[in-house]
Amino acid sequence: MLFEPISIRDVTLKNRVVVAPMHQYSAEKGFATDWHLMNAGRYAAGGAGLVIMESTKVERRGCGTVGDLGIWDDAHIPGLKRCVDFIRLHNSVPGLQLGHSGRKARRFRPWEGGAPLKPLPDIWDWEGWELVSSSGINSPETDPTPRALTRAEIPEVVERWGQGARRAHEAGFDVLDLHMAHGYLIHQFLSPFSNVRNDEYGGSELNRMRFAIEVVESVRAHWPASKPLFVRFSVEDDFPAGGRTRAWPWPRF
């Protein structure tokens, strides 16, 4: 069945070979480059039914490294559309993952060690590249402490996911994947280890799921019902002292 077509909503893949989103760390101030065209294009030309481009950040604060791809501005659309057109040229379906690094932002790239960055004169918009999270908790303890998003800020961040979905649609993507895993921002709200809020976004399982649910609702308001919407979860967390535990039930979107 791997090489048989499959339809999800109104989108049909020519086969069931899916290229998962993989960070390239090669954007320039958030903009797609020739590297992204080459990287996504080679998988489409190789015959994959669906090519999902990397975690693309819905706001500047969400960038994990200086090379993260962005979709927080309409100016990002043409570069992404260029990749979409090339993927489609090879009869492959173009997909995109939306993400936000939260407290895992502002870091060196993996081959540079992945440690937290310090202010450097050649980093654009350092002040706008703020560490935010569900709570003011750092992990590991040697990392900088993020600022907890205020109650008033949360709807603004949720809307940025929705606007990211709008831009993805305008760029021509047919599949959208929301990154709620690997300790990034939405995971930071879901997890009882990183989320110690005492408002409606913290405490109970439902409260910790609220941010994720609102993101999905905002995205769906801007993403056509005819197009598939995927969600990537990590449903287990590390205990502070080691081991693993299930942190929340599967949300049903």
Q: pLDDT tens-digit profile of 68-108? A: 999 999 999 999 999 999 999 999 999 999 999 999 999 99
Q: Which two tokens stand for residue 192?
A: 């009882």
Our measurement of the distance from residue 233's CA atom to the centroid of its chain's CA atoms, rounded to an integer in Å, reads: 11
Determine if the peptide bond prior to 78 is cis (ω within 30°): no
Catalytic annotation, residues: 184
Q: Which residue has the tokens 């305008």?
A: 170
With CA atoms as reference, report the closest residue to 177 among 165, 191, 160: 165
Residues 188 and 103 sit within 8 Å (Cβ to Cβ): yes
Half-sphere exposure of 97 (CA within 13 A, CB side): 24
With CA atoms as reference, report the closest residue to 43 among 84, 92, 7: 92
Q: Which two tokens stand for residue 162?
A: 């929705």
- How far apart are alpha carbons 184 and 195 in whole angstroms? 12
185 class by beta-carbon count within 10 Å (0-12 exposed, 13-18 middle, 19+ buried): buried
- How far apart are alpha carbons 253 and 29 in whole angstroms? 33
To 10 degrees, what angle do helices 154-171 and 205-222 make?
Answer: 40
Q: Give me the percent of the chain exceeding a pLDDT of 90.
A: 87
Work out the average pLDDT over 153-181.
98
Tens of pLDDT, residues 117-145? 988 777 889 989 999 999 999 988 999 99
Tens of pLDDT, residues 174-229? 999 999 999 999 999 999 999 999 999 999 999 999 999 999 999 999 999 999 99
Q: Per-domain residue ranges for the chain?
A: 17-246
Q: Is 214 helix (H, G, I), strand (E, B) or coil?
A: helix
178 Rama sector, left if φ>0, alpha if ψ -120 to 50, beta otherwise: beta
Residues 205 and 215 sit within 8 Å (Cβ to Cβ): no
> Which amino acid is present at 6?
I
Superfamily of domain 17-246: Aldolase class I (3.20.20.70)
The β-bridge partners of 177 are 97, 230
